[in-house]
Structure 1
Amino acid sequence: MKRKAWPQSWPGRLGRAVDPYVAALLGTVALAALLPASGAAATAVGDAADLAIGLLFFLYGSRLSSREALNGLRQWRLHLVVGASTFVLFPLLGLAAGALAPALLSDRLYTGLLFLCVVPSTVQSSVALTSTARGNVPAAICAGTYSSLLGMIATPLLAAWLIGSDVRFSAHGLLAIATQLLLPFLAGQALRRWTAPFIGRHKRVLALLDRGSILLVVYTAFSRGMTEGVWNQVTPARLGALVGVAAVVLALALAATSYTARRLGFRREDRVTIVFCGSNKSLATGLPMAAVLFGDAAGPVILPLMLFHQLQLMVCAVIAGRWSRRAPEPSAVPGPPGAPVQV
């Protein structure tokens, strides 16, 4: 009997084309290069970006189901491996890349690479990739959620430790993080009883609002970089080197999470979740954090994260499609997962 093909979702298509959201990001960068905001316009755009960041994290808090987050604690070993990859393995890889900084990467780009390595894992793309590869989707949702929550504390601390004086980690910086990120998130959690039904009815509109907020942050950061002339330091050779270094970091993260999950005896579905959640980085969380932590210097800092985001989508989409074809067929009768296969 011919094996029925598994439906292909958006990650599978990303292996053949650039994601429309990434195309929008690139278009926003081009707009900032051609028409950067300056003077009073820059102030207005910056204030709008700050408000958009607050709204973004309010929506994150409103979407998070406390019950699902608590239920996910039962798989603590899986979440521990994902957290170790996100906040231990990646920073170590970033420090190791410091040997290449003087020759291949400028100081600003290396700062951005270090910041990329301390950003939390993503939720949306990890869940979509895990679903395509027939992994443990509920665990992926919880892993991404825990990573985002932990990242509100771990990312600023690690950035201040690894990057140093470039990070605005003073009392004022902590207050800015609490005001722009943590307080809106907590407000969303507190009001979730009333806001969650509204969000459920308007998912598409609010998804556009999410992405519009990120695009505004990108435009603001790159506009500041253009007006200050910092992009003159980013030569094509440096940019190519950055892509190469980001690709190596991604390959090492994928290999390490796959090997660790297999050695620790996780079942196939959980190994899929660990690989995708442990190797992906969140653009939606990382960009607002960079805007708060680096202020006017955020432009070159967010470039490595944007490049890595596109790389992880394309590479992981190919892997997810391949694992989907190798996965056992779902049983018509509910029961335990099928026999594990190597991933």
Structure 2
Amino acid sequence: MKLLSRIDPMVRLLVVAIALASIVPATGAARPVVQGVSNAAIFLLFLLNGLRLPRAEVKRGIGHVRFLLPLALWCFGGMALAGKGLSVALEGSLPYLVALGFLYLGVLPSTVQSATAYSSLAGGNVASSVVAAALLNVAGVFATAPLFAALGGGAAVSMGAGGLAKVFAMLILPFAIGQVLQVRLADWTARHKSLVTWMDRISIAIAVYVAMSGAVEQGLWTRVSPLDWAILLGGVIVFLAAGFAGAWLLSGAARLERPDRIAFLFAGGHKSIAMGAPLAAILFPPAVAGMVLLPLLAYHLLQLVASAPLANRLAARSQMSQAPDSPG
């Protein structure tokens, strides 16, 4: 029980969603019902995001251009191209949609909660981390789907008028409503922070369940062999290492102070399943979404596993550099 309690609650929910989809997938007459529940949950998720992001923080964060500009370029430029490269490199070794998932992973924005938590643990600039991750997620609402289509995902998703309308109705509109209602509901959101967090997690888990149900119906566990899983895991590890290393080197090139470099590291190396799972449910049919999400699901787990010891090591080094010289 102690070991279970140490596992991130989001990871536990994702495992439950995948297991449930494998045992009792939403198929046939149940699929439209579950899809409707998922759509409502996604709408609620982005409504809550709009409620929680104070406009004053957005305005303050936008002023830190030397931090935000290279971070945005890395997140939607460097990481997107790395995802494209891995997608092309692995296309002959993995099922097409799974390989395409690396491109989808590359164009996603950073996480908010985990990047901020690990930045705080490592001694990073928490304010910069919170605002940067939040702004990247706002940008991701507008940029991720068109960028994915432009870099070669057009075979899986068509960003025509219908696609743009779905993105607007399910992501942008509820976020805008949340921002408008923020003045009236900010106190309620603050008082019920735990409830809102769990509503977030459950919304994401529902989206993953729907996507995985479609993939299971299409033969996920027979189409993806053990060798495919090993190659997938290897690709995710390479992408994770490139994400963290590139973010650290770029923050150094930008001459950021160490606390900002640490915030940059986690915001630049993490990828958001809170954006990725709901957006995939909107853009792709369930059978496609489940396969495309496989790299993101593996990445989400590994970024949490890698970030804990990395944050501890950075924190230890920061304490050593700040410690007074010993006498003698």
Decide which moves more: 138-147 or 289-298.
Answer: 289-298
Maintained 8 Å contact 2:91/2:99: no
Pick from 95, 103, 119 the counterpart of residue 108 of structure 2.
119
Shift of 1:295: 2.6
Aligned to 2:195: 205
Q: In structure 2, what is the Cα distance between the partners aligned to 1:220 and 1:205?
A: 23
Shift of 1:231: 4.2
Q: In structure 1, what is the Cα distance between the partners aligned to 2:277 and 2:236?
A: 17
Pick from 105, 118, 142 the counterpart of residue 153 of structure 1.
142
Q: In structure 2, list runs of 5 or more residues that go unmatched.
A: none
Maintained 8 Å contact 1:90/1:118: yes
Q: In structure 1, what is the Cα distance between the partners aligned to 2:304 and 2:99?
A: 22
User: What SS does the aligned partner of 2:25 have?
Assistant: coil
Aligned to 2:314: 323
Pick from 145, 149, 155 the counterpart of residue 165 of structure 1.
155
Pick from 256, 260, 265 the counterpart of residue 270 of structure 1.
260
Q: In structure 2, what is the Cα distance between the partners aligned to 1:59 and 1:147?
A: 16
Paired residue type of 1:93: A
Which aligned pairs between 1:8-19 and structure 2 lie closer than 5 A? 18-19=7-8
Paired residue type of 1:51: A
Which aligned pairs between 1:25-104 and structure 2 lie closer than 5 A? 25-104=14-93
Aligned to 1:222: 212
Q: In structure 1, list runs of 5 or more residues that go unmatched.
A: 1-12, 332-337
Structural RMSD (CA): 2.1
Q: Does 1:300 find its partner at 2:302?
A: no
Shift of 1:283: 0.8
Which aligned pairs between 1:208-287 and structure 2 lie closer than 5 A? 208-287=198-277
Deviation track 1:220-276 (CA, whole Å, cap 9, x = no partner) reads 111112223344321111111111101101101211111121222211101101111
Decide which moves more: 182-191 or 94-103.
Answer: 94-103
Q: How many residues align?
A: 320
Q: Does 1:141 find its partner at 2:130?
A: yes
Structure 1 runs (4+) greater than 4 angstroms displaced: none
Maintained 8 Å contact 2:13/2:202: no
Maintained 8 Å contact 1:121/1:144: yes
Shift of 1:41: 1.4
Task: Assess, with a 3 A threshold, how the Cα gap between structure 1 residues 328 and 102 changes in structure 2: closer, same or farther.
Answer: closer
Q: In structure 2, what is the Cα distance between the partners aligned to 1:167 and 1:29?
A: 23
Paired residue type of 1:24: L
What TM-score do you get using the length of structure 1 for normalisation? 0.89
Paired residue type of 1:122: T
Maintained 8 Å contact 1:85/1:279: no
Task: Assess, with a 3 A threshold, how the Cα gap between structure 1 residues 59 and 99 changes in structure 2: closer, same or farther.
Answer: closer
Decide which moves more: 217-226 or 134-143.
Answer: 217-226
Q: Does 1:188 find its partner at 2:178?
A: yes
Task: Assess, with a 3 A threshold, how the Cα gap between structure 1 residues 330 and 59 changes in structure 2: closer, same or farther.
Answer: farther
Maintained 8 Å contact 2:13/2:201: no
Shift of 1:44: 0.7
Q: What percentage of aligned pairs have identical amino acids?
A: 36
